[in-house]
Amino acid sequence: MNAAQICSQLTRKSRSNFYYAFLFLPRPRRDALYAVYAFCRMVDDAVDLQTDPDAQRGELARWRAELARCYDGGAVETPIGRRLAEAVHAYAIPRSALEAILEGVEMDVDHQAYDTFDALYPYCYRVAAAVGLCCIEIFGYTEPRAREYAVNLGVALQLTNIMRDVEGDAVAGRVYIPRDDLARFGVSADDRRAGRYTEGFVALMEHQAARARRFYAAAHETFPLRDARTLVAAEIMGRIYLSLLEELEARRFRVFGGRVTVPTRRKLAIAFRTWAGAHLTRAA
């Protein structure tokens, strides 16, 4: 299996919403995005698949060195690194964004909880908004506010992920819902670990959903219509994740006992409608 196939297979196997967003892209851009996604997947696994902090930091250090070689012209050592090196030079992906992703993943080694949303925001920026800043360089855009759009959308997506993954994060001992919100609604760590579905928990999640919706709204407000066609993959991601948020709301945030997902058929329908809408907008 060659490097391109490895990156593509990692994206497909993950069942990530990103995969459906990339379907309508030209092959070279799609391959570059697969490389970025594979890098994100590997650095995430470097922390999630290990429990020893020294081992986690060691793996991240190896990927940090591989990333440096992608930009500095050194001999990259991994198939994913080779594809990433091609991508960063073909599409001018900012080094600072990829480094921010590494910094965000490293926060999972040291931070098990966040006291406030202001404390959580840098984490959301690094692990999600920075990914968006990489992606829009590959998609292509003409209006500078596309970067603001990418940040807003990335944070919205991450907040949606946090809501969906409450159970898994609790089992892993991680708390991404701010502690001040947990205290405000009377939800304890034991409640989350035990999967207690209470009125307080529903109110807590409604509060989180409202915050996520503010970021989706901010992304909508900053979306550059002139770039509707080139940024269609970003819009597909946003609408699939918004559909996930709506699914969580429709289920009254029953996130214990099984992961909430958007059915594949609905994802494909969202992708097609968004692609068609972008082309009609451009034609108009």
Q: Which of 194, 203, 280, 198 is nearest to 235 (CA)?
A: 280
Q: What are phi and psi of 198, to 5 degrees?
A: -125, 170
How far is 67 from 102, CA to CA, in rounded Å? 10
In the chain, CATH 1.10.600.10 covers 1-110, 113-284
Q: What is the mean pLDDT of residues 192-207?
A: 95
CA 209, chain centre distance (Å): 17
Q: 1-110 has which fold? A: Farnesyl Diphosphate Synthase (1.10.600)
Encoding tokens for residue 239? 């609408």
Which residues, in sequence order, are bridge partners of residue 175? 113
Q: What is the mean pLDDT of residues 144-151?
A: 98
With contact defined as beta carbons under 8 Å apart, do 63 and 42 qualify? yes
pTM of the predicted structure, to 2 decimals: 0.92
Binned at pLDDT 50, 70 and 90, residue 284 comes out as very low
How far apart, in Å, are the Cα atoms of 93 and each of 7, 103, 122, 140, 216?
17, 17, 20, 11, 24
Q: 113-284 has which fold? A: Farnesyl Diphosphate Synthase (1.10.600)
Question: What is the tens place of the pLDDT at every residue in 11-24?
Answer: 555 556 667 777 77
> Of how many residues is the chain composed?
284
